């Protein structure tokens, strides 16, 4: 019954085991290579995401700055706006203009002393000092 099976020699078995080990090593090498490639792509995607977030923050900052500059240009497009900016920035005035100082007189103490205080008035003054 065993006629159809050929006997293999030791050299053939050794060659078959060696080829199997080489195949396993090649598969391990391909797996390691694939993992390294995937890890590298993950690093690139993470870096690109960080750069994109930074670019979006910079865009928001620049858009806010654009709005402020556009408002300043709108103010400076009229004669009145230019005059207001020059007055604020350099503290200049037109000829004949001067500074107005408002001085308030302090109330006389005699006015308050002459008012008669009742019991309810004294309680009111004691509760509400201001």
pLDDT over 70 at 110, yes or no: no
Residue 103: which pLDDT band, with cuts at 50, 70 and 90? confident
Q: What pLDDT is stored for residue 8 in this prediction?
A: 60
Across 41-118, the runs of DSSP E, i.e. the strands, are none
Q: What pLDDT is stored for residue 118 in this prediction?
A: 82
Q: Please report, rounded to a whole number, the percentage of residues in the chain having pLDDT higher than 70.
A: 85
Residue 10: which pLDDT band, with cuts at 50, 70 and 90? confident
Q: What pLDDT is stored for residue 109 in this prediction?
A: 61
Question: What is the CA angle 69-75-77, rounded to 5?
Answer: 100
pLDDT over 90 at 31, yes or no: yes
pLDDT over 90 at 119, yes or no: no
Look up tokens 């309810």; give the residue: 120
Whether the Cβ atoms of residue 88 and residue 96 lie closer than 8 Å to each other: no
CA dihedral angle for residue 21, residue 24, residue 25, residue 31, rounded to 10 degrees: 180
pLDDT of 56-98, one tens digit each?
A: 999 999 999 999 999 999 989 999 988 888 888 888 878 888 7
């Amino acid at each position: 019954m065993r006629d159809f099976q050929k006997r293999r020699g030791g050299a053939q078995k050794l060659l078959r085991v060696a080829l199997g080990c080489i195949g396993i090593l090649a598969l391990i090498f391909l797996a390691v290579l694939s993992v390294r490639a995937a890890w590298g792509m993950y690093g690139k995607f993470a870096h690109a995401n960080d750069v994109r977030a930074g670019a979006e923050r910079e865009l928001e900052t620049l858009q806010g700055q654009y709005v402020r500059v556009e408002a300043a240009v709108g103010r400076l497009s009229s004669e009145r706006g230019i005059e207001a900016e020059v007055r604020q920035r350099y503290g200049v005035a037109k000829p004949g203009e001067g500074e107005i100082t408002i001085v308030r007189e302090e109330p006389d103490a005699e006015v308050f002393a002459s008012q008669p205080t009742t019991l309810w008035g004294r309680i009111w003054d004691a509760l509400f000092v201001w």
